[in-house]
């Protein structure tokens, strides 16, 4: 149960963590039920705008840079020369904006199931959508699972799965058949990165099975990169990389000499995130 109580706090309860996270709000700016999910936008007192889907926090203006930078730059600096990128989900366009900072990227296709997420992001999170008119971008509003099944073999360098939690329309994005489709669609140096929930709360239930499914689908190399994310359950989140080639090394010099600003990502943050916490190794 996720509630808006009389004291004007939005609360997301995390049942499996026995915990909750709350934001003090001025009020609700928007709510609608789309054919896929229920979307709400709140105006918070300290975190800017807040987007909620089916009661779960998606992003806030204040801390989304952590997630979006870690969902994009480590993977882009791991691939030797990423030109063709596909984002599955990602409707708020924050990941898309980060991908487009890489000059070498020639084409980004974003396959988002729910066009309303993107339209509301344009209205309430315009800073995340500022690169949407870039000629390298193509938007397709449809099911990412289906698109990936039909993708031409070897036609993609990097797949970024920026999805909701593994329930509802995103459930199939966390399965071996989907990873198999990705493996087929990816070229020789291709890699996949997927948001993989909380290392504290979901290591056994989601992260480990994700590695197993990615490896069963043919990816020889997998690695989970943890990073802070205050607005999500436990405040600690992760991105899991799966590659046809090793994913525990990257183009460090290019990362250091990048020609764009970041707020969290640096080559040192990337290197640190590659060092597994002790309990990952048990
Ligand atoms: N940063 C967020 C998080 O981890 O909570 C995710 C943000 S983004 C808004 C997630 C998007 O994935 C949603 O807009 C949702 O519509 C989309 N999505 C879910 N299942 C999908 C599918 N099967 N194909 C394409 N997009 C999907």
Q: Indicate whether 147 and 182 sit together in one domain.
A: yes
Q: Whose CA is nearest to atom 4 of ligand 1?
A: 164
Regarding the beta carbon of 163 and ligand 1, being less than 6 Å apart is answered yes
Which residues have a catalytic role annotated?
Answer: 162
Examine residue 281 and state whether it is found in any structural domain, yes or no: no
Which pLDDT belongs to residue 2?
63
Residues 237, 214 within the same domain: yes
> What would the two tokens of residue 34 be?
């789309």
Cα 105 to Cα 65, 84, 134, 156, 261: the distances in Å are: 20, 6, 12, 11, 17
Distance CA 136, CA 244 (A): 25
Q: Classify the C-alpha dihedral 56-58-63-65 as positive or negative.
A: positive
The answer to the question of residue 32 being in a domain is yes
| Residue 183 and residue 44 share a domain | no
- Considering the domain architecture, whether residues 97 and 47 belong to the same structural domain is answered as no
Instruction: Mark whether 48 and 105 lie in a shared domain.
Output: no
Same domain, 238 and 163: yes
pTM of the model: 0.96
B/e letters for 245-271, b = 16+ CB within 10 Å, e = fewer, are eebeebbeeebeebeeebeebebebbe
> Same domain, yes or no, for 171 and 261?
yes
Cβ–ligand 1 distance for 160 under 6 Å, the answer: no
Measured in angstroms, how far is the CA atom of residue 278 from the centroid of ligand 1?
30
> Of 43, 60, 77, which residue constitutes the final position of a domain?
60
Question: What pLDDT does residue 167 have?
Answer: 86
The H or E element containing residue 81 is none
Give, as one character, the DSSP assignment of residue 152.
P
Residues 50 and 145 in one domain: no
* Same domain, residue pair 31 and 142: no
Q: Are 133 and 264 found together in one domain?
A: yes
What's the pLDDT at 282?
A: 80
How many domains, in total, are found in the chain?
2
The edge-to-edge listing of strands for the beta sheet with 84-89 is 137-141, 107-112, 84-89, 156-162, 186-195, 236-243, 221-228
Question: How far apart are alpha carbons 94 and 127 in whole angstroms?
Answer: 8
| Claim to verify: residue 85 and residue 150 sit in the same structural domain | yes
State in Å: Cα 230 to ligand 1 middle. 19
182 and 194 in contact (C-beta within 8 Å)? Answer: no
**What parts of the chain have a pLDDT lower than 50?**
none
Domain that holds residue 53: 2-60
Give the domain CATH number at 177: 3.40.50.150
Same domain, 141 and 244: yes
Evaluate: CB of 90 within 6 angstroms of ligand 1.
yes
Residue 282 lies in a domain: no
Question: Does residue 84 contact residue 106 with C-beta atoms inside 8 Å?
Answer: yes
């Amino acid at each position: 149960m996720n509630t808006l109580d009389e004291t004007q706090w939005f609360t997301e309860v995390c049942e499996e963590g026995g915990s909750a996270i709350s934001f003090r709000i001025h009020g609700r700016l928007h709510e609608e039920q789309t054919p896929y999910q229920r979307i709400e936008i709140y105006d918070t007192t300290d975190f800017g705008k807040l987007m909620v889907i089916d009661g779960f926090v998606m992003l806030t203006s204040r801390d989304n840079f952590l997630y979006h930078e870690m969902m994009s730059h480590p993977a882009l600096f791991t691939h030797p020369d990423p030109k063709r990128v596909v984002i599955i989900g990602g409707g708020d366009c924050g990941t898309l904006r980060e991908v487009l900072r890489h000059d070498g990227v020639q084409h980004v296709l974003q396959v988002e199931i729910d066009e309303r997420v993107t339209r509301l992001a344009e209205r309430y999170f315009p800073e995340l959508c500022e690169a949407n008119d870039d000629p390298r971008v193509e938007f397709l509003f449809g099911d990412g699972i289906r698109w990936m099944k039909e993708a031409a073999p070897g036609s993609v360098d990097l797949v970024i799965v920026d999805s909701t939690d593994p329930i509802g329309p995103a459930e199939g994005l966390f399965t071996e058949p989907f990873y198999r489709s990705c493996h087929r669609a990816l070229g020789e140096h291709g890699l996949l990165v997927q948001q993989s929930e909380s290392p504290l709360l979901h290591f056994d239930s989601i992260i480990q099975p994700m590695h197993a499914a990615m490896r069963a689908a043919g990816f020889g190399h997998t690695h989970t990169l943890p990073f802070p994310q205050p607005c999500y359950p436990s405040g600690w989140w992760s991105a899991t990389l799966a590659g046809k080639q090793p994913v525990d090394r990257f183009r460090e010099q290019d990362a250091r000499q990048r020609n764009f600003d970041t707020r969290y990502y640096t080559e040192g943050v990337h290197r640190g995130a590659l060092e597994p916490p002790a309990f990952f190794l048990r």
